[in-house]
Amino acid sequence: MKKKSLFIIIFAFITSAIFYFYHGNAARESIIFFPIDESVSFEKAATSLELVGNKDDDEYMIEWDVHSYTDKEIYLRQDISLLFSDGKLIDTLSEWEDQSQKLAQFKKVTGEDSSHFQSISLHYGEIHLNNDLIRSTQFMTSDHLYVIDSEFTELFSFKKPQTKEEEEWKGILDKVTEQHLEYNWNQLIDHYKIERNEYEAIPLIDLIRYNTSPLLGLSKAKTQEVIGSLWEGLYKNYFLGLKSKEGKVYPAKGSTMPLILLAKNSSHIIVLTQTEQGKPFKFIQRIEFTE
pLDDT in tens, 7-41: 333 333 333 333 333 333 433 457 999 999 999 99
Residue 136 near residue 172, CB atoms below 8 Å: no
Mean pLDDT of the chain: 89
The residues, any chain, with a CB within 8 Å of residue 57's CB and separated by 6 or more, are none
The 10 Å CB-count burial string (b at 16+, else e) for 75-87 is ebbbbbbbbbbbb
Which pTM was predicted?
0.89
179 and 160 together in one domain: no
161 and 177 together in one domain: no
Residue 137 near residue 124, CB atoms below 8 Å: yes
137 and 255 together in one domain: no
Domain boundary residue, one of 165, 186, 213: 165
Write out residues in the chain with pLDDT < 70, as ranges.
1-29, 291
User: What is the structure's pLDDT at 29?
Assistant: 58
Domain boundary residue, one of 135, 165, 195: 165
227 and 148 together in one domain: no
Number of domains in the chain: 2
138 and 215 together in one domain: no
Backbone angles phi, psi at 280, to 5 degrees: -80, 150
**Size of the chain in residues:** 291
Is 2 domain-assigned? Answer: no
Which structural domain, as residue segments, surrounds residue 80?
Answer: 32-165
